[in-house]
Each structure stands twice: as structure tokens, then as C-alpha cells.
Amino acid sequence: MTDAPPADQSQTVRPKYIGKKVERFEDPRLLTGRGLYSADIKADRMVHVAFVRSDQAHARIVSVDTDDAAAAPGVIGVFTAADFPELPELSAPSAMKDYHATVCPVIARDVVRYVGEAVAVIVAQDRYLAEDAAALVMVDLDPLGATADPVAALEPDAVALHDNVPGNKVLERVFETGDAPGEIAKAQHKVSARFRMRRKAPLAMETRSYVAQYDSGRDQLVLHTSSNTPGVVRDELARLLNIPGNRFQVVSPDVGGSFGGKGSVYPEEAIVAMLARDLERPVKYVSDRLEDLTSTSQAFDEIVEATLAFDKDGTFIALDAEVIGDIGAYSIVPWTAALEPVQVVSFLPGPYRTPHYRGRVRGVCTPKPPTGPYRGVGRPAAVFAMERLVDMAAATLGLEADEIRRRNLVGPEEFPFRIGSGIRWDRSGFLECLEDAASSVDVADFRKRQAEARKRGKWLGLGFGTYAELTGIGSRIAVAPGMPINTGNETASVRVDATGAVTATFATASHGQSLETTLAQIVAEELGVRPSDVTVKQGDTALTPHGTGTYASRSAVIGGGAAIVSTRSLLKRVKEAAGALFDVDPDTVETGDGEIFVPETNHRITFPELAQAVYSDMKALPMEARKPLEAQENFDPYLGTTTAATHVAEVEIDSETLAIRVTRFIVAEDCGRMINPLVVDGQVHGGVVQGIGAALLEELHYDDTGQLLSATLADYLIATAAEVPALDVHHLETELPENPGGFRGMGEGGTIGAPAAIANAISDAVAHLGIEVQELPMTPNKLFRLIAEKQGKD
């Protein structure tokens, strides 16, 4: 401890780190190849797994002949469902009325229900030998017929995929406020359409990978997984495998993206854990890209038939919608089949006043991989449908797109506002984002450029996409209706150890969101240290009593909230210990830049010096003042908070080739108080790129029998730098939400707003042809067919 001269002590100001462009702490290891992913883990006596997967969508398993595979070089074992007396089954229950939970054995027992479902597993000395042996397994399948189209699957004569799911309908739910059908029937104006958002893949850079290690001496199992929800995986597998949580540790090391696809519990995780325990050897599985495209959960696949009624001034009166969600063969664990389709119908009214609303949703089983979480869950399809209706209404009345939105968006004086599905919006910049985005676009000038370009064989289009979303959802609202898991709180612990080092522990699991940096910034600002002084630990179920992980734009709001309340509790202890050391009132003690001091005095020490006094120097403090410098608090935002944005896209279409190019893109978003602008920009840019892919390129093509026709990256196209224009991003802080940090979630916004804005821009570009975009992705081939159909009708 030192006494520093008091000369300029009164000028000491705690540095502010929230809102600063702090370079990512993760980058030095991730950008130099020194990260540690599940696939990087090596262990003595490790064995490797390959799966034999069904090549038919729906069939009865007659036999599985494994004799040749078992005799192949390097093979340690070949296992089918028959080899496990108590075969675990994955099921996602729900409290939703008339919901039918599906049952998915971790290895298909009697029936396969999608191409890619595992029917056998090979364990060998390395992956190459395992794959060679897998090719020797002979599987005899008796086709049971398949109805891959979700509308056809609801017909009375459709093939049933599950005995306990009558008519292939897993769920049905209706949201209703007022009398939408009655108001639509008598409305002066209305627009209607059938919209389709096609199935896509999450396609993270890192495929799913798992390594399980069993310590027989301690009867402990450790599973390293590429999941972004290690807590969910631990809890579900502990139940399935009958392992106490204190003997089962799930760790998510560095994770190379998820976008929702790695956020569920998969059969392969259970199998790897089971085999490690049974064989008493480390077991490793890393999926290849084909497996990733055919067995990782998929996104969207929604049909929305909707009608919007409005008066002569463009004021919305009523909205009515029928939604059919293709959930695939099984209900995803633990999120349930309700996750995607119910959110489509819940969020459909968006940020608009629609006094009368009726929305019915049905979730349908088809012989395809399960649909599951994907960046934006439900809202990309909902916003696409609603924003197209809004533009169609504007065209009916001869209004510009921004003007009709201006007339119908919920205004600042109307918050909190409850939409027809029951979702409650708190104060967010609905109108402010629209005005900011619109001010960046000179619509009159664009119309001149549009007319001139048509003379040169180029069709230009301008499109708006405005949305609102719930982020940081608290315990009052389940992420999926009826799911039995509390996803709405987070526990954080922050401590100063005996060396004075600061460690903050969370149940979050970063997979690209820069949480090591942003959470460190929060703790540093609250505690009065530098961000580089804080080590953030996360993604390990052994570190926290409960936590579900990172998803649904929750980490800044819920994880950041937990960081703030925990650090404030720790700061109180720091001040109490320093007050006792200085013999002053603890309330007079301040911290900043790694020091603890009393302004305008000589009292000044560092955190290591305080730690020395608390933990080691028995003479420095009385016994009652030597409390551990640590705190753990829980944070629950209860309802969550609202994030809003407006996206604007300009597109150019070549009239000869029908090639579609996005030439300009603007985002005006309100994510509340920004923790790190560099990270926020990165999230927005990445989301928009994925949104461009969903709008123009990405589609998993299935034939009528459930066979995937785009199972390679030669057939499944994603956006590259060539398809992405420079992005103009504007950040607004209209009014900070009522949580400790003033944060709103924003990680999903790019994928929500971009598809709608691009769809509207394409429609605007071809409006002179009398064509409307009602399906995404919109490719040159699809556009060609639309034009041909229109010309045929004319």
C-alpha cells in the first residue's frame, strides 16, 4: 500500500468503457489459428465415430446388416438401436393446448422419418476407418410413402409420419383481437396474398462437433460441444442418461458460429456421451458438410396467407392470416415445434396499429430434418409477409412506402403498446428509425433514376423493411410458448482473487458475439478497472448453477444485466474493505482505472493491494472486515425489451439476364445503449449478409419424396462479398429501456429486416410488369417464371 501525493486527486474521473470501440479480446487467438474448438481436442485412446444415415425419407427398417463393417480394419464397434437396452428418446413437451409431442430415438429403432436420420453408428480408431466401415453397412428399408409438402400433409389421405400426431398436425393456435374477418368484409380497401419463405440452412462455418470423455475412477463425464446452449444440453442429457449434474460437465469452447443451428439437443450428442461411458474411452464426432446440411436443424419453411384491410387514407383496420409451418419430422428439443411457426403469427402485426387481428397457425410434420432456431426465429417470415402487404396497400392508394408506414406505425406517445397477438412493445424508435432511414433516401430523385434506367434495360427498385422484435426476453415469456424451461434469467459471479485479478463468470456461451469483450467492458466500468483487467469465463456448466446459454438476442440484456447487478454487489464489498483500511465511510470510497481511492485525500491503493489486505495480510484488517471479494447475483428482466429498425434496399435487375443485385443498403436501428459500437456494427453487417442470402440465394430444395436436391455448397448458394454492397448503418438511442444497462438486443435484426426490404425492392423494380414478389428466395429463374406466367395470362 502506498500514499500518493494529493496534488490532482480531485480531478480523478472514472473512465467510461461502455460505448467505446474496444478491440475484441477474442481476435488474437481466433485470427491466428490459436483458438480451441471441439474438433481440436485430442486425448489418449480417443476413438472416432461415423454414422450410417438413412437414404430414404420415410421407411420401415427391415434389417441393418453390420457384419462386414464390424470386421473392417480399425473398427472397435458397430451399434444399432438394438444394442442399447434402454435407448434414450428425445422429446420436446409443451403445455400448449392440443400440442402433440413427437418422440425421436437417438438411433432410429423401427422407422426412419427423414433422409439423414442415423440408423447405425461406427466406432473406429480414426474417422477415415469409421467412414470406410460405414459404407459396408447394409440397411434394408421398406418405403412407407412420404408427403413432403406441408399443405398436402394436412390432407385426410396424407401419409402419417407419427402415430400420435393425427393428421400430421403437431399444433394449432389462434390469436384473436376484435373482429378481423368482419372488418375485412366491409372494408373499403384490402390486399391479399400467399407468401412463402423457403427452407434454409444455418450453415455455420464450424460444423457440429462433440467430444465426450469419461473418468471411471470418479464416475464423471465431460462433454465438449459446439453448442451455444451448454446448460440446456447438460440438463437434458443428464435426465436422459441418468447422470447427476455434479458428475456431468458440458463445455462449449470456442464455437465457430451457430445462428441457432447448434442451439438444440441432438441425438449425436447423446450417442457420443453414451459411448464414452460404455467404452470408457474418449469418443469424438465431427460432422462433415453433407451431414450438416442434412441433419442439422433447418430454418423457416413457412406459408402465410394474409389479408390487410385499410381505409382511403391508408390507415390499417384489420389483419387476418393463416400460417402453416413445416416443422420437419420431429419437434426440436427443447424448443418444441411451436418455436418458429407460432412466432410467425405472434409477430405478424409488427410495429403497426392493427385494431382487429386474427391469426391461426398450424405446425405440420413432414419427412425432412426438424426446423429449429435460426437467427430471428419466426420474424423474418412474419416481417416479409407484413411488409409486402404494407407495400401492396401503398401501391393501391398511390402512396410512397415510407408515407404509409408513417401513418400506421405506433407513435412515441402510445407506448407501451399491445398488438393483436398479445405481444407488448415498450418504448422504442419505431417512427424515429423510419424517419432516419427515409431521410437517407431521396425518393423523388430515385424515381427519376428508376425511369432513366429502364430505358437502358436496367430495372431499379427501392424497398423498405420495418420491424420490431422482443429481445432479452425475461421469465414472464417463454422463448417458445408452452416450453417447460425458464430461459429468462441469468446468474453472474464476479470476484477479485488474492492477486487482485478480476474474473467474471457467466452461463452464456459466445459463438461469435464478442461476449468476452463486451461483458468485460460492463464489469470494468461498474467496478472501476480496465476491460483488459477482467477475464470472462463462460460456456461451462461447472461454473454456474444454472444457465441456458446464448440465443434470442439475450446476452447484452440478460447477461449484461447480471454482470451489472453482480459487479455492483462486489463493488460494495470493495468499498467496505477499503473504507475499513482507510478508516473512512465506505460511501466516500471511489474506484477508477484499476485504483481505489478517496477523492482529495492521500488514500489510494490498487486492487492487488486491497486483495493482499483482505486475503493475506492478517494485520491490515480486523476479522469482520476480511470478507471475500466476490458476489453472485441473478438478473431477470421479466418481460424483456423491444428493438426496432428500418432497412432500406436498392436493387438493380438486368432485364435480359434477370440477375438481381443489391446496390445500396441502409439500416437505421435502435438497440438502446451500445456497449461496443464495433461489435454492434459487426452484428448488423453479418445479419444483413445472411438476410441477403435468404432473400436471393439460399434454399434447401426437396422433391416430393423428401429427397434433398441441394446437399452441397455447389448447389446450396450463400452470399459472398460479391453480393453485398457497402452498408450504411445508423444507430439511434431514442429512449433507454428500463434495465440496468439501458441495453436492447440486436443480434438478429439483420436477418429480420433485410429479406423484407429486398423483396419490396424487387417488387418495386418489376412493378411496371405487374409482378409481385410473394416467395423468397427470389432467384433469376423464379423471376423468369413469374414474367412468363404474367405474359401468358396477358
C-alpha R_g of the chain: 28
Smallest Cα–Cα separation from 328: which of 281, 374, 396?
374
The single residue listed with the C-alpha cell 416481417 is 383
Is residue 230 within 8 Å of residue 252, measured between CB atoms? yes
pTM equals 0.96
d(CA 48, CA 505): 32
Q: What is the DSSP letter of 616?
A: I
Give the pLDDT of residue 485. Answer: 86
Report residue 203 as a C-alpha cell: 450453415
Give the pLDDT of residue 222. Answer: 98
CB within 8 Å of 724: residues ≥ 6 apart: 662, 688, 689, 692
Give the pLDDT of residue 13. Answer: 59
d(CA 396, CA 197): 24
- Maximal CA-CA distance, the chain: 95
φ/ψ of 136, rounded to 5, equals -90, -10
CA dihedral 146, 152, 158, 164 (to 10 degrees): 90
Give the domains, in start order, of the chain with CATH numbers.
2-35+489-635 (3.30.365.10), 45-145+207-255+262-295 (3.90.1170.50), 302-476+638-793 (3.30.365.10)
Query: What's the number of CA atoms in the CB half-sphere (13 Å) around residue 164?
Result: 10
The single residue listed with the C-alpha cell 483500511 is 581
Is residue 521 within 8 Å of residue 555, measured between CB atoms? no
d(CA 122, CA 69): 8
Report residue 293 as a C-alpha cell: 446440411
Is residue 320 within 8 Å of residue 180, measured between CB atoms? yes
Give the pLDDT of residue 630. Answer: 98
Give average pLDDT by consecutive 10-residue segment, the chain, 794 residues.
Answer: 40 77 95 96 97 98 98 98 92 94 96 98 98 98 95 96 97 97 98 98 97 97 97 96 96 97 97 97 98 97 98 98 98 96 97 98 98 96 98 98 98 97 96 97 94 95 97 88 87 96 96 96 97 97 91 93 97 97 97 96 96 93 92 92 97 97 98 95 96 98 96 96 95 91 94 98 97 97 95 80
Cα–Cα distances in angstroms (integers) from residue 365 to residues 116, 211, 346, 689, in the given order:
16, 31, 20, 30
